[in-house]
Amino acid sequence: MTLSLSATAKPLPEYSIRKPISLCSNGLIIPASTAVRSFPVAKSYFPLALDSRLVLYGGAVNFSHRFCGLKFWILEKLNFHKCNRNCKWGNELKKLKIQGIDQLPEHLKTPSSCEGKVPEELSVLGLRNDLTEETTEPVSQIDDSSIPENQLGVTNNRVESPSPLPLYDRHNGRLPSLSIAVIGATGELARNKIFPALFALYYSGFLPENVGIFGYSRKNLTDEDLRSTIASTLTCRIDHQQNCGDKMNAFLSRTYYLNGGYNNREGMLKLSALMEQTEGESEANRIFYLSVPQEALLDVASSLADNAQTLKGWNRIIIEKPFGFDAQSSYMLTQSLLSKFEEKQIYRIDHLLGKNLIENLTVLRFSNLVFEPLWSRTYIRNVQVILSEDWAMETRGRYFDGYGIIRDIVHSHIFQTMALFAMEPPISLNGEDIRNEKVKVLRSTRKLELGDIVLGQYKASSAEKVDVYMNTLTPTFFAAALYIDNARWDGVPFLIKAGMGLIKHRMEIRIQFHNVPGNLYRERIGHNINLATNELILRDIPDEAILVKVNNKIPGLGLQLDASELNLLYKDKYNVEVPDSYEHLLLDVVDGDNHLFMRSDELAAAWNILTPVLHEIDENKIAPELYEFGGRGPVGAYYLGAKHGVQWADD
């Protein structure tokens, strides 16, 4: 850095300021070098604390009379309040994701015993607000070009948080409250998935202690009724069950119920008033989970936007799939939502995208040099995305009969998986940067035609109760061959398969590589060269694993080859309980991480691929091919693979 003193400038290296400055009697330490870099300095004025014994090396000693009161200047600038011992900042820190930094620098850590108001300049280190952005003023006459960009989260004069730390309320020293409302609280999804996921986050310390959980529906219930309903669904982590009962009681005591009635406007006004009672005067953030039928979505969302949003923090809404019926209906739905909310407030959730398999896609590719060079048409022959269920749709019959497997699973989960797999490297792990790359993949994908798809439906069986709500044209199986027309993937078939009532519950991605040109061991391999194909398998179900299929010599005399799997089996390697996908995605919403949620342009691009073939299916009333419940699916899927030179690897 360079300190400007009138007309004379003297460069000072970082090591020229040695002694850290104590700003808190019980432990908050900020080195002087950090203070110099972090806070605005008036032009031609750089005070020096006489009692700090800052030593200037080089020829700058004759300027020492210009450097007085550095410590007191910082104290005044920070308006730092006296600390006490009950602060628990450490408990509020979410484990940092891989963002090039594993933890905050030591000189910025605050001991867990220190409590009090956070200075305005430091609070921005934990600021991640959807409504406002805080920037620092330029530092006068200080050249910080030698300071790394990620130092202290400063980039281009803007202080950004390296991790989603909670905001502090500067008026009363409290953390901002978080209110989470579950609209449709008495439904099966809320009871079995949403409330248990919220409790798991609360128990593990990922929700603040002052969180408020609000159930909203039209049933005439009390707080105690809701608590007793969800209590049986709450469980503590198997791998750490300390204070389970106490935590559960604390969570239930912060759970409230409101009968919103049939007038959503009045109901949302009541909900907002109830939230304000628990939030008090502190800063307040709100999340609204809309677990409601599609026909009620817009009315609920509009009433919520007008009557239940807080003005003291950010607001986020979570919307369940399906996100429309085709391109036109999805566009109308999107425009209605965007008339009431900003894009950054909307989180379109698909629980299948909360699986570890999906997160591992980018980690495996971008953090391992051995894979990244292979990720293109040069080495990859085909990619298969497989999702098969061994159960029927009796529990979601009415919903599934209206939308089918294409609109329910393929449009969101399968296409998002393909986009994450095939995207170009994003410039960062920021959610918007990842979304930008995903949408490019979807826009480059060819529109589907009838010749590239196979529809199937398992045979009705009253004994299994699988045909209660379904009509004869609702597909329960879908297979397709997709092509991405860009330089990286030109000519590589992406085969997708999703089905219900199949022989096995399976969720995996298989990457098959080209055969070795001029293979010296062709005679040893035999006629079926495909058996010797190298594969990379990313599996979530039945057992989460990463598998690499390679050819090797069988031990013993002679030369016999075998195709073997090198495997990383998660249950053997990691002795931890895998969180439910709803936990993962709800935590992302709390933290403002939106990379696993579809943006409006992604939504439109995905519908553009499917809508033409969907209209053709509906207009021509194309009947799906029947297959046995518990079987391998329609025979047409095998012909589809053969047409594109691919053998389904899961068979």
Whole-number pLDDT of residue 6: 40
Q: Is residue 580 scored above 80 in pLDDT?
A: yes
CA 329 to each of CA 377, 607, 611: distance values in angstroms, whole numbers, following the listed order: 35, 10, 11
Specify the pTM.
0.72
Looking up tokens 């249950």 gives 571
What value does the mean pLDDT take over residues 8-23? 41
Q: Is residue 203 scored above 50 in pLDDT?
A: yes
Q: What per-residue string of b and e applies to 97-110 under the rule 16 or more CB within 10 Å gives b?
A: eeeeeeebeeebeb
Tell me the per-residue pLDDT of 511-538, one tens digit each, with 9 for 90 and over. 999 988 877 777 776 656 666 788 999 9
User: Which has more pLDDT, 139 or 372?
Assistant: 372
Quickly count: other Cβ atoms within 10 Å of residue 463's Cβ: 6
Whole-number pLDDT of residue 513: 93
Residue 496: strand, helix, or coil: strand
Indicate the average pLDDT of the chain.
76
What value does the mean pLDDT take over residues 338-363? 92
Whole-number pLDDT of residue 434: 95
Residue 455 near residue 473, CB atoms below 8 Å: no
Quickly count: other Cβ atoms within 10 Å of residue 20's Cβ: 15
**Active-site choice (107, 171, 413, 584):** 413
Q: Is residue 493 scored above 70 in pLDDT?
A: yes
Cα separation of 323 and 333, whole Å?
Answer: 8
User: Ranked by mean pLDDT, which of 83-92, 99-108, 152-161, 204-213 comes out on top?
Assistant: 204-213
Partners of residue 214 on adjacent β-strands: 181, 256
Whole-number pLDDT of residue 67: 44
Whole-number pLDDT of residue 529: 62
What value does the mean pLDDT take over residues 156-185? 59
Secondary structure (DSSP) of 225-259? HHHHHHHTT----SS--TTHHHHHHHHHHTEEEEE
DSSP state of 162: S
Whole-number pLDDT of residue 490: 96
Whole-number pLDDT of residue 486: 95
Q: Is residue 469 scored above 60 in pLDDT?
A: no
Count helices and strands (H / E) in the chain: 20, 21
Q: At a CB cut-off of 8 Å and minimum separation 6, what does 95 contact? A: none
Q: Is residue 26 scored above 60 in pLDDT?
A: no
Tell me the per-residue pLDDT of 376-434, one tens digit each, with 9 for 90 and over. 999 999 999 999 888 765 545 555 556 788 988 999 999 999 999 999 999 999 999 99
Q: In the chain, what are the domains?
A: 178-320 (3.40.50.720), 356-644 (3.30.360.10)
Instruction: Report percent pLDDT > 90 for the chain.
Output: 45
Residue 585 near residue 283, CB atoms below 8 Å: no
Whole-number pLDDT of residue 564: 80
Q: Is residue 153 scored above 70 in pLDDT?
A: no
Whole-number pLDDT of residue 109: 45
Residue 316 near residue 341, CB atoms below 8 Å: no
Nearest to residue 88, comparing CAs of 200, 175, 176? 175
Cα separation of 479 and 634, whole Å?
Answer: 10
Secondary structure (DSSP) of 422-448? HPPPPSSS-HHHHHHHHHHHHHHBPPP
Q: Is residue 123 scored above 60 in pLDDT?
A: no
Nearest to residue 12, comparing CAs of 149, 156, 147, 150? 147
Residue 39 near residue 74, CB atoms below 8 Å: yes
Confidence band, pLDDT 50/70/90 cuts, at residue 19: very low
Confidence band, pLDDT 50/70/90 cuts, at residue 578: confident
Q: Is 413 a catalytic residue?
A: yes
Strands (E), 276-409: 284-290, 315-320, 346-349, 380-388
> What phi, psi does 636 have (nearest 5°)?
-55, -25
Q: What per-residue string of b and e applies to 213-252 under the rule 16 or more CB within 10 Å gives b?
A: bbbbbeeebeeeebbebbeeebebeeeeeeeeeebbeebb
- Amino acid making up residue 51: D
- Amino acid making up residue 277: Q
Q: Is residue 45 scored above 50 in pLDDT?
A: no
DSSP state of 414: I
Secondary structure (DSSP) of 46-99? ----TTTT----STTGGGGGG---HHHHHHHHHTPPPPBTT--HHHHPPPPPSS
Whole-number pLDDT of residue 131: 39
Partners of residue 545 on adjacent β-strands: 539, 569
Helix axes 431-444, 415-422, angle to 10 degrees: 100
Confidence band, pLDDT 50/70/90 cuts, at residue 491: very high
Cα separation of 511 and 361, whole Å?
Answer: 12
Q: At a CB cut-off of 8 Å and minimum separation 6, what does 246 contact? A: none
- Amino acid making up residue 302: S
